[in-house]
Chains A and B, each alone.
Chain A
Amino acid sequence: MALLEAFELSKFFGGLTALDAVSLAVEAGEIFGLIGPNGAGKTTLFNCLTGLYVPSRGKVLVRGENLTGSKPHQLVAAGVARTFQNIRLFGNMSVLENVMVGCHQRSRAGALGAVLRDRATRSEEAAIRARAESLLDYVGVTGRASAAAGSLAYGDQRRLEIARALATGPALLALDEPAAGMNATETLALRGLMERIRADGVTILLIEHDVKLVMGLCDRVAVLDYGRKIAEGVPGLVQRDPLVIEAYLGGAPA
């Protein structure tokens, strides 16, 4: 059974068909790439898979369970976490607090404990803090835990988003263009991080424009164009698919 499955997902905005009956299945343990020209519907698919959009048609399944139309936090509880194409950190909170928000779902303490600060609440709070600190180390954002999240360098903000998503304890991490705006060195480090995340048992669904990165990293790739899936398979084959070449380069094949 696939870890995350989209079954004939469609999304209409008024008369616009942003997604047209897209099906794909991400298996546990793989790095699955999602590529396509700008406006192909990749982020719309992400939004449907993470509960931000309710799909117009079709189903979202997590380990076979139908979670179509679930709230985002319910999908997080089912093990799906994500980052954003345009960075969306909590700018009024510290770097560490951003990651600690990701741990919220697994915390038990209520309002009363928060005020009374009893032993159980304090030890849970300490555990959350420790976990958040270790996640910051894990993604390589060090020494800036108490800084404002918005003050980090761009690449660090991207890594902080990954740490925050990992804090929810996901089975699948959906990364929306994590390498956007990164230089070659940073991209290389990011690639190492993604490989480590996969090795630690988290499946990755990756939207990325950097074709070299996708082809070198992903086990399988799906290609979207105008809201439709036009190809799927191992990177080497997809790269040579005439439909894919056409979508990227335009023009009718001779």
Chain B
Amino acid sequence: MLVRAHLSIFLQQVLNGLVLGSVYGLVALGYTMVYGILGLINFAHGEVVMVGALCALSAMTALQGSGLPGFAVVLLALLLAVLACMALGLAIERIAYRPLRRAPRLAPLITAIGISILLQNLAMILWGRQYHSFPPLLPVHTLHFGGASISTVQLAIILVSGALMAGLLLLVHLSSLGRAMRATAENPQVAGLMGVNVDRIIAVTFAIGSGLAAVAGVLVSANYSVAHYYMGFLLGLKAFTAAVLGGIGNLAGAMVGGVLLGLIESIGAGYLGDLTDGFLGSNYQDVFAFLVLIIVLVLRPRGLLGERVAERA
């Protein structure tokens, strides 16, 4: 009996971890794609997630009384958030990174942090400092199995993230656009000389990463039913950790790193109280992500699936 109870708790932590990890994975993809192609950590990426969530929230609030069915409102809001974030991603690339493409690496890193602060403050002005709750537009059911439970929202998070990741892998590995992206990541100069419009490919990369970030923002806000102007910061840092864990620059690595980090956090937080005899509670969850970051950076800086860091001269 006790064993079963333990098992169901464990299963619950695994499910929670998968949900969390799918979101990390989606956001980590944005970091890793940009790093792969520009060798740049786009520290404003977490803020794109936040903008996506808040845009969707505004759209839902505006459309709530329109008489449209709930799922149509959600889909419209999601679409709007994706488009807004794509435009934002394109603007960030154009304004903050493209002029600095030949500058020393420190320069775009500083503008990235600058853009991040700028977006946080703009969002604070536009949406205020308060926590916004997501309107309950869809009926949420809870599914039970094996003593654990998962809500339909959480299930949707796992399924949507999985589908988007699969789509991205298809795009990158089996299409002309994807080949051009990989060629640009490997050597932008040569890619250009083979007819690839490098500026366009970089812009497309930002647009795709930002679109994924928007979806992640909506999913995570739907899960916690809350959004606010500062939500992108911690989420962004954790997703960056996931990207480093998987091997930054590597798409599969970002997904694996995301899910793994989610599991580590969830399982770690779940048992932290037991392990420390109640001294540390599950509110220390965030410690795990950064512990992982430090351990990876010290022991295996190229990450789990990373391989090419040395090649980038």
> Measuring CB to CB, which residues of chain A are less than 8 angstroms from any residue of chain B?
50-52, 71-73, 76-77, 81-82, 84, 88, 90-93, 97, 100-107, 109-111, 113-115, 117, 121, 124-125, 128, 164-165, 167-168
Contact = CB atoms under 8 A, between A and B. Distances in A.
Nearest to B192: A72
Interface residues of A: mostly helix, strand, loop or mixed? helix
A44 to B, nearest CB: 15
Given A90-B187, A109-B175, A76 B182 contact: no
A93 B179 contact: yes
Contacts of B204: 111
A88 B190 contact: yes
16 contacts: A52-B192, A71-B197, A73-B198, A90-B187, A91-B311, A93-B179, A93-B183, A97-B179, A107-B176, A110-B177, A111-B208, A117-B170, A117-B174, A121-B175, A164-B194, A168-B194
Contacts of B186: 90-93
Contacts of B171: 111, 114-115
B310 to A, nearest CB: 12
Nearest to A77: B195
B57 to A, nearest CB: 26
A115 B170 CA distance: 6
A52 B193 CA distance: 8
A72 B184 CA distance: 13
B195 A105 contact: yes
Given A114-B170, A115-B167, A102 B195 contact: yes
B105 interface: no
A109 B176 contact: yes
A102 B194 contact: yes
Contact of B194 (A104, A113, A117): A104
A125 B195 contact: no
Given A91-B186, A93-B183, A109-B176, A101 B191 contact: yes
Given A90-B183, A93-B183, A114-B171, A76 B194 contact: yes
Contact of A114 (B177, B187, B191, B308): B177
B189 interface: yes
B189 A52 contact: yes
A102 B194 CA distance: 5
A104 B196 contact: yes
Contacts of A97: 179, 182
B70 interface: no
B54 to A, nearest CB: 25
Contact of B193 (A82, A92, A106, A113): A82
B176 A73 contact: no
Interface string B269-313: 000000000000000000000000000000000000000100100
Nearest to A106: B195
A55 to B, nearest CB: 16
A125 B194 contact: no
Given A88-B187, A90-B190, A114-B170, A100 B197 contact: no
| Closest 10 pairs (CB-CB, A-B) | A114-B175, A105-B195, A76-B195, A72-B192, A107-B176, A114-B171, A115-B167, A101-B183, A168-B195, A72-B193
